[in-house]
Amino acid sequence: MDYDFNKWMSDYRVISAVGENDEGGIDRLAYSDYDFAARTEMLNRAYGMRLQCYLDAAENLWFSKPGTDPDLPPLIIGSHLDTVPNGGRYDGVLGVMAGFQVLRYLVDNKVEHRRTVELVAFSCEESSRFSLSTIGSKLACGLTTPEKLRNYKDFQGHSPVDFLSRLRYAPDTLEERKRHIKECLGYIELHIEQGPVLESYGTDIGIVESIAAPIRLRLEFTGRSDHSGACPMELRHDALAAAALTITEVERLGREEAKYRSVATVGTINVPHQALNVVPGACTIQVDIRGIHRDSMDRIYEGLESFLKKLEKEREIRINRVLLSDEDPVPLDRSLGEIIERNCVKTGLSYRWMPSGAGHDAMNVAKLIPAAMIFVPCRGGISHNLSESVSEKDLRNSIQILYEVVMDICR
């Protein structure tokens, strides 16, 4: 595959930098003006290539390069463009831009292929804004509804539905989009690993065999606010102290299940009306439990629930539990994975089969059609961080392996 890497890199720098903040991180949150600007940059380039482009009813952005045989089910490739706050330049966007380069190469070189290739940039993959991940692919695959999404709010009180309602026109309904996806051959997603395994072993490509799923909770602690000087320690009902004990328990439970590749994290903490001289009367934290084995995830969840019941009695506080999501780990398609393996061998790239500890849109699409994921190394295994980085060699490998797999399936 002979293409202008520097031209691709120039486009990549423009699109991946949309939403850059003063620290050098990226604040391209889902449905934000920056998210819209990145999509516009993609559309401007796609129109110049005469690709078919459209936005579906979930605000997922699609590009299509027709094949010569319209009777063959299309192949979908894709990822996402939104980031976490102060995020990096490769999570999600690499998969979209590598797919875009494959389409560009097919167009520029007039490469004939029988099967249509579609590229999708799913909306709102990150959970940062609404505490719910992969919203665009969930909607497109019929795994949630706009009505259910009204229960999820960002810190300004907006729900995802507030942004979906901006659409005056979409070429299809959600049900029609789901039907289209079900008619496709399969889905391939390329992504940085977001962990240290590939780099540690000096491996070029990861072939994902299963994707971990999350159980996510919001825990609302209610105690009593008191004067920090006048209220004796033995009479306090400190919500923040109770939350702190919970945080350490979440970590302990996660470490206990680490041998099963499960993890547990408290990622946010909020204390309203906080002041140095006030015993906190309220506190909210959010818990993220993930794993590739459901029984291990359940042990963490049940262990946490047992701990919370004891904590309520011992501390004389109330803890309201809000279940934000509860999903099952998803195995990916072995046959598609073997096509990736075959093309790694063909191109001389080293590979390993591995699980994904992070969730991805592929886990939703896999419930409708065969799906596979390709991982490429990121330096230091760092992701969701402004220091996120990928070597030039691995960038080139990502485009090459995706092209080889697409042509293997679509030629």
- Alpha-carbon distance 278 to 137, whole Å? 44
The residue type found at 145 is T
Residue ranges for the chain with pLDDT beneath 50: 169
Looking at the chain, which residues constitute the CATH 3.30.70.360 domain(s)?
A: 213-326
The residue type found at 110 is K
- Alpha-carbon distance 204 to 197, whole Å? 11
Rg (CA), the chain: 23
Looking at the chain, which residues constitute the CATH 3.40.630.10 domain(s)?
A: 5-212+329-410
Query: Is residue 20 within 8 Å of residue 83, measured between CB atoms?
Result: no
Closest by Cα among 174, 110, 102, 112 to 142:
174
What pTM value is reported for the model?
0.83
Question: In the CATH hierarchy, which fold is given to the domain comprising 213-326?
Answer: Alpha-Beta Plaits (3.30.70)
- What is the three-class DSSP state of 384? coil
pLDDT at 338: 98
- Alpha-carbon distance 366 to 86, whole Å? 30
Residue with tokens 């952005």: 61
pLDDT at 169: 47
pLDDT at 167: 56
pLDDT at 258: 95
Closest by Cα among 17, 125, 140 to 80:
125
- Kindly report, residue by residue over 320-368, the tens digit of the pLDDT: 999 998 988 999 999 999 999 999 999 999 999 999 988 899 999 999 9
Could you tell me which residues come within 8 angstroms of residue 344 by beta carbon, excluding any fewer than 6 positions away?
204, 205, 207, 350, 351, 401
pLDDT at 166: 66
Could you tell me which residues come within 8 angstroms of residue 113 by beta carbon, excluding any fewer than 6 positions away?
67, 68, 106, 406, 407, 410, 411
CATH code given to domain 5-212+329-410: 3.40.630.10
pLDDT at 1: 83
- Kindly report, residue by residue over 297-307, the tens digit of the pLDDT: 999 999 999 99
